[in-house]
A = this chain, B = another copy of it.
Amino acid sequence: MDDKSALIPVILSGGAGTRLWPVSRRAHPKPFMRLASGQTLAETTVERASRVASQGVTLTVTGRDYYFLTRDLYQQGAPETEHHFLLEPEGRNTAPAIAAAALWVESRFGEDACLLVQPADHLVRNVAAFEQAVTKAHALASEGWLTCLGIQPTHPETGFGYIRAGSAIEDRGLSIEAFVEKPDLETARRYVESGQYLWNAGMFCLRARTLLDAMAEHAPDILAGVRETWQASSTDQEPLELDSVRFARVRADSIDFAIMEKARKRAVVPVDCGWSDIGSWQAISELYETDALGNRVQGEGVLVDSRNTFVQGEKRLVAAVGVDNLVIVDTGDAVLVASRERAQEVKAVVDELTRQDHESAVFHRTVHRPWGRYTVLEDADDCKVKRLVVRPGGVLSLQRHEHRSEHWTVVGGTASVRVGDEEFDLGAGQTVQIPVGSLHRLENRGQVPVEIIEVQTGSYFGEDDIERLEDIYGRA
């Protein structure tokens, strides 16, 4: 093992997570889901990644829409680590994302540095076991092996791809004989019984140079497209936004298909680390202890003579009478009731909602913004009411609206407000009116969040009636 090779965790954070609707949505995907611990998956992932980050640096590949919230969550999950971001203008699957990450790592830490690639939205309960496996994988990667972490299967799962392992590579891992597609149940049973198969969890340890060489051999068009994108991007900016025109032309493909299935020097490190891809409500429910009747209740639930039922609520009460084997998930604007075994088919609901162009396929009532977040309390023909929470240091864009007046009542913190040419501070219980067409800006110069109830009056309340004149987040 080359003790000097750097290890840079690369977190891939995309994906709509439609199987966890109504909590996971396009504008609020799975990494942002909060677990029973109170942490989001993004936080636990970055915390885990930071423990093995040899240079105190992580790199995350994600979309612009997710950047600000991800950065904030990382600040919670791993405040001591330096977090860098590559922003994809659109998702092109994992091969282009990892290729771009390899270019980034190579440019910062040299071609011998290794990438530890992992998805942002998986759960690892035994972090020590994970770290031990990473140490082995890092050693293999440093020697030029394209290395996977392979999960010891606990049951004949038909939802994952499998890795068939071969002979041992010293005490560090096994060679890979083949990657195999999602099997049917009988095949999966055979795989598990054989002891020769591991789950492919999308976690890789790859030396930058090895990966780029393998791409040049097996997917030269993808590598060329990503290099072209790289050259057209401002690669010294933070976050680094990949050039949208070039990146859109790159062929979308997974790292598995593009490289791993074709490459020669491949290794797998088996690991039993309490891993879950949290791919369905069924999987979420299994994170909780059951009561005597097999029920699990997160939030406020009253269950009468009901069994094997998982309830996840937010603010509202969920009551069940005489039901069995259900998943009930309640959010501010939608409730899902599904048979446990069929819970992963919630994707069909999202497809239907997408077809209807239904807001609940994409947005929650709470929407995150670079400056904080807002929650829609009322959305009617004659008004819209929101609660705004502006983080310390948060600044809304200097803006105006053509079709609505706004009325702010501060309920917490001290808001620094500009309306027209006037600037002043407002504390709890104070109000201000912003007439149609008035330039205005809201800022939190204090140490605690500013909380505001905003009442919009007028004739049209769409988010597109915002003319931004200045914005510190680059949205003007």
Chain A positions near chain B (C-beta within 8 angstroms): 21-22, 302, 304-305, 315-324, 326, 328, 330, 332-339, 341-343, 345-346, 348-349, 352-353, 358, 360, 377-378, 380, 382-383, 385, 387, 405, 407, 409-412, 428-429, 431, 433, 451, 453, 455, 457-458
B318 touches A337 (CB 8 A): yes
Known A378-B387, A409-B455, A453-B378: A319·B335 in contact at CB below 8 Å: yes
Residues of B within 8 A of A316 (CB): 332-335
Q: Contacts of A321 on B, CB cut-off 8 Å?
A: 336-339, 342-343, 345-346, 348-349
Main secondary structure of the interface of A (DSSP, over half): strand
| 30 contacts across the A-B interface (CB closer than 8 A) | A22-B319, A302-B353, A304-B345, A304-B352, A315-B333, A316-B335, A317-B334, A317-B353, A317-B360, A319-B346, A319-B349, A320-B337, A320-B338, A321-B339, A321-B342, A321-B345, A322-B338, A322-B341, A323-B337, A324-B339, A326-B337, A335-B335, A337-B337, A377-B377, A383-B411, A405-B429, A409-B455, A411-B455, A429-B457, A431-B433
Q: Which of B323, B334, B338 contacts A339 (CB 8 A)?
A: B323
State the Cβ distance, A295 to closest chain B Cβ, in Å.
12
Structural contact, A322 and B349, CB atoms closer than 8 A: no
Give the chain B neighbours of A385 by CB distance below 8 A: 377-378, 385, 387, 453
With a CB–CB cut-off of 8 A, which chain B residues contact A341?
322
Partner of A305, one of B315, B342, B455: B342
- The winner among A336, A378, A453, A458 for most chain B CB atoms within 10 A is A453
Of the candidates A341, A345, A378, the one having the most CB atoms from chain B within 10 angstroms of its own CB is A378
The closest CB in chain B to the CB of A453 belongs to B455
5 additional A-B pairs beyond A321-B336, A321-B346, A337-B337, beta carbons within 8 Å, are: A317-B335, A321-B343, A335-B335, A378-B387, A429-B458
CB atoms of A457 and B433 under 8 A apart = no
Cβ–Cβ < 8 Å partners of A315 in chain B = 333
Docked Cα-Cα span, A305 to B338, in Å, equals: 10
- The docked-state distance in angstroms from the alpha carbon of A320 to that of B458 is 36
B residues within 8 A CB of A455?
A: 409, 411, 453, 455
- A405 nearest CB neighbor, chain B only: B429
Q: How far is the CB of A438 from chain B (nearest CB, A)?
A: 13
Q: Using Cβ atoms and an 8 Å threshold, which residues of chain B touch A453? A: 378, 383, 385, 455
Q: How far is the CA of A349 from the CA of B22 in the complex (A)?
A: 25
Q: Roughly how many angstroms separate A336 CA and B318 CA in the complex, as a whole number?
A: 6
* Cα of A383 to Cα of B452 in the assembled complex, Å: 10
Residues of B within 8 A of A320 (CB): 336-338
Contacts of A323 in B (CB 8 A): 326, 337-339
Task: Kindly report which residue of chain B lies nearest to residue A334, judged by CB atoms.
Answer: B317
User: How far does the Cβ of A267 sit from chain B's closest Cβ, in whole Å?
Assistant: 40
Q: How far is the CA of A305 from the CA of B80 in the complex (A)?
A: 49
Tell me how far the C-beta of A389 lies from the nearest C-beta in chain B, rounded to whole angstroms.
Answer: 11
- A358 and B411: CB pair below 8 A? no
Assess the A304–B348 pair: CB atoms within 8 A. Answer: yes
**Among all A-B residue pairs, the 6 with the closest Cβ atoms:** A322-B342, A321-B338, A322-B339, A383-B411, A317-B334, A377-B377
- Interchain CB contact (< 8 A) of A328 among B333, B337, B387, B428: B337
Instruction: Please measure, in the bound complex, the distance between the C-alpha atom of A339 and the C-alpha atom of B303, giving whole angstroms.
Output: 12
With CB as the reference atom, state the residue of chain B lying closest to A404.
Answer: B429
Q: How far is the CB of A320 from chain B (nearest CB, A)?
A: 5
Q: Which residues of B contact A22 (CB under 8 A)?
A: 317, 319
Would you give the shortest CB distance from A409 to chain B, in whole angstroms?
A: 4
Give the Cβ gap from A59 to chain B, nearest Cβ, in Å: 37
Query: Distance in Å from the Cβ of A456 to the closest Cβ of chain B?
Result: 9
A457-B428 Cα distance, complex, nearest whole Å: 7
